[in-house]
A and B are shown apart, each in its own frame.
Chain A
């Protein structure tokens, strides 16, 4: 996936020296006056650090949307460009931007804003402390941002919840010609189906039972296929509804090759009902039903590997993904959506739970990233015709303790428990290496796909 560059700012490294502003003035202004800088370092007394006011090159720029003259537009290069020919100097953009990214320059006689110096931003070059960096941002966020968010604003998820992020991004991409099943759990619990006559979603949406999501979608999808209508049957389910009490219906639908896109949002337990243990809960983890006490030390069994179990069904497509690696997630969502036109597609999202796992709500993405970097969460994809491939290198993981120590649910772990988890992580990684290796090895180029049973391939509906 291609990317566009952007200027990032790290307040922890900024000492407020102002060299960046001087560099900007030198490069861009016709007058040597510091207030002409298009980047401004300002003191944030409340936070006790320096902040930056500069154009963020937004995906959905407010300056452009309020401009009555179409003088501002987001370009393919990622830059929000200002067009002198069109500008009528109304200054609405300066009110529209909440970042102080565009301002009127008396010296120039019109608004000015950062244009990243044609790929060589002088402010970044001038910053000796590394507070400013010129980095790549994914272009896809801009592209996907243009799709309609099909959930209503204001879902009642917990602060910092990644599940809401997954839901919104998934449904944006899958689109309105969809029937969405959300079995009981966090996903409908935050109001996505609705409450007392009000709706939470703009597509047909329903509560299946916790146990029968894939079966109800089977009936829906088959009836529309019978009628010659192409309707996506989408599930957004938790790990309990997918892998524990709902596993029979999930397994049956996968075995029959039903044309369903099943997304499992794995937060390793029954987090909506108060953080009880599920089959996906990690060994050693505190939950409400595996409490820590004089004799209890958390869960005493390893989690089952639900996505691998799904792979052995011979699904059309199976993959794991993480909210810390959104480009990877988007690529897999595309593939899964496409595969669901031919058969069963299963997408497993690792979704840390701020409430049930006991960590600060601001660090969810960081936790998700650390899970992947320690091999605790392994990212891979399986296609029936190509077998299993790893999505990233897993040969040099960080120690799993870097992940465990972020989470309150592991606070009580002793050395033996930690060692057990590290061994389990290593063993799981080796299983994946072996499965992926079967594919890569010349003599066994399709071994993995050939040992996985071939699901019945249904005719693609009209």
Chain B
């Protein structure tokens, strides 16, 4: 962190001159600009770089500072966007529906109860094929009352039809928000994208990041064209979302056409996500596994499956276990929707047992949601392997290296013993 120049909401370049993204400056082609900030500020910089026409916000912990950063950037003229301070999350997303149908590139962020409240328009967003980008600063759900991190919010809405990406680091949050617009606005996709970053861990954890150059981002993203397929524009009058259905006539087939087209868009997204990550690596020098990351799987006989920021501590635990001679690796899911079936199966095929660590609960299965997803993927593996559910990090609980060492040990047991039906509650004994 010695190369840190200044910790500030606005960036300073090494010469001490304030730099405003979106303006042509002499430093455009210099070395990457360095910024020290938390995940919410990094997300806000990702928004600035993506140049949305409209941002609608409503505060909710732990998303609030992200909304505040964006509002400040608009107030400072750093971001030229319409800012709508709506009266609730339901309206936040509704405003963006209207804006997108009028041709706007749009952004918002929410989490937890806010996501629950916006569910009605949230549910409709992908069906309208609106390429809205929305951060979820993952938060656990009430009740019991809590304002802390957890992924119950995003996991609960995973069947709604949004693309769902989960970030591990603050840098990945910024980079993924920009990439999300390319994915969402791709003509073969045209779907909204959730960029998930864990509340508390990523939203408030401060690290050094690099800020991509605005002109290069402009070149990467291109000009938004978000309502070519459905518009509310007097120059192109059309009815958007007329009534369909009914038992007879063309309705049922029309409806199937929409549903099937949506599924095809999701499948196309698998390809586009890979292409966009590849181009990002080529242009900006940072490479992320687009769908599923394989970490130290070579020669591994068992592995943890993780998602989101927990992978950091989990990788440390894997490294320590490897140092002790254990043959363990890690699989990190970045893209949960569309489900990266082939990529996950390829990773699972390399091991003989997995333990899936969830920061959310699937009540009906007495298990974790990603555990259920993994079980479904295992059906497509060449061989049957045991798959243990481990649940931790609920309501902001720490998932430390110690917790993951236990997770590795529990997973290793599967190599010689039957897999327990009960999940392992990793924080149950924390004091």
Contact = CB atoms under 8 A, between A and B. Distances in A.
Nearest to B118: A212
B87 interface: yes
Given A188-B243, A197-B250, A215-B95, A220 B90 contact: no
Interface string B80-93: 00101111101100
Given A196-B254, A206-B232, A209-B94, A222 B82 contact: yes
Interface string A193-227: 11111111111111111011011111111111011
A255 B87 contact: yes
B241 interface: yes
Contact of A194 (B53, B54, B103, B242): B242
B232 A204 contact: yes
A179 B98 CA distance: 10
B102 A223 contact: yes
Contact of A178 (B234, B236, B246): B234
B225 interface: no
Contacts, number: 153
Contacts of B94: 208-209, 211-212, 215-216, 218-219, 249
Interface string B211-241: 0000000000000000000011110111111
Interface in A339-372: none
B253 to A, nearest CB: 10
B364 interface: no
Given A223-B54, A255-B87, A217 B98 contact: yes
B97 interface: yes
A179 B53 contact: no
Given A204-B237, A219-B98, A219-B104, 12 more contacts: A177-B234, A188-B243, A193-B242, A194-B242, A196-B244, A204-B238, A209-B120, A216-B95, A218-B94, A226-B82, A248-B90, A248-B91
Nearest to A208: B94
A248 B53 contact: no
A271 to B, nearest CB: 17
A218 B82 CA distance: 11
A231 interface: yes
Nearest to B234: A177
A223 B91 contact: no
Contact of B241 (A193, A214, A251): A193
A221 B250 CA distance: 33
Contact of B82 (A176, A194, A199, A223): A223
Contacts of B245: 196
Contacts of B82: 222-223, 226
Nearest to B123: A209
A301 B118 CA distance: 30
A219 B96 contact: yes
B91 A249 contact: yes
A252 interface: yes
B99 interface: yes
B56 interface: yes
Contacts of B86: 215, 218, 252
A219 B84 CA distance: 8
Residue with the highest number of chain A CB atoms closer than 10 Å, among B85, B96, B98, B121: B98
Nearest to A210: B120
Given A223-B103, A252-B91, A199 B242 contact: yes
Nearest to B85: A256
A219 B87 contact: no
Contacts of B56: 219
B101 interface: yes
Contact of A220 (B53, B98, B237, B242): B98
Interface in B7-21: none
B227 to A, nearest CB: 10
Contact of A219 (B90, B95, B241): B95
A218 B233 CA distance: 14
A317 to B, nearest CB: 21
12 contacts: A193-B240, A195-B243, A196-B249, A204-B231, A206-B239, A212-B121, A216-B98, A219-B56, A219-B106, A223-B98, A226-B54, A255-B87
Nearest to B86: A252
Interface residues of B, number: 45
Contacts of A224: 102
Interface in A244-278: 248-249, 251-253, 255-256
B330 interface: no
Contacts of B242: 193-200, 207
Interface in B97-141: 97-104, 106, 120-121, 124
Given A188-B243, A197-B254, A252-B88, A204 B233 contact: yes
A249 B53 contact: no
B100 A219 contact: yes
B205 interface: no
Interface string B241-264: 111111001110010000000000
B85 A215 contact: no
Contacts of B95: 215-216, 218-219, 222
Contacts of B232: 179, 204, 206, 220
A178 B235 CA distance: 10
A343 to B, nearest CB: 15
A124 to B, nearest CB: 47
Contacts of A203: 234, 237
Contacts of B104: 219, 223, 226
Instruction: Name, among A179, A203, A256, the residue most crowded by chain B CB atoms within 10 Å (CB to CB).
Output: A179
Interface in B48-74: 53-54, 56
Nearest to B236: A204
Nearest to B120: A209
A222 B82 CA distance: 7
A329 to B, nearest CB: 24
A214 B86 CA distance: 11
A249 B244 contact: no
Nearest to A217: B98
B110 to A, nearest CB: 14
By Cβ-Cβ distance, the 9 closest A-B pairs, closest first, are A219-B98, A252-B87, A194-B242, A219-B99, A212-B94, A215-B94, A216-B98, A215-B91, A223-B102
A248 B82 CA distance: 21
Nearest to A192: B239
Nearest to A212: B94
B98 A218 contact: yes
Contact of A205 (B85, B121, B239): B239
A179 B234 contact: yes
B88 A206 contact: no
Contacts of B91: 212, 214-215, 218, 248-249, 252-253
A218 B243 contact: no
A226 B237 contact: no
Nearest to A245: B120
A348 B430 CA distance: 59
Contacts of A214: 91
A218 B231 contact: no
Contacts of B250: 196-197
Nearest to A223: B102
Contacts of B101: 206, 216, 219-220
Contacts of B96: 219
B161 to A, nearest CB: 16
Which of B91, B96, B249: most chain A CB closer than 10 A?
A: B91
A222 B84 contact: yes
Given A195-B243, A223-B54, A223-B102, A215 B237 contact: no
A15 B104 CA distance: 68
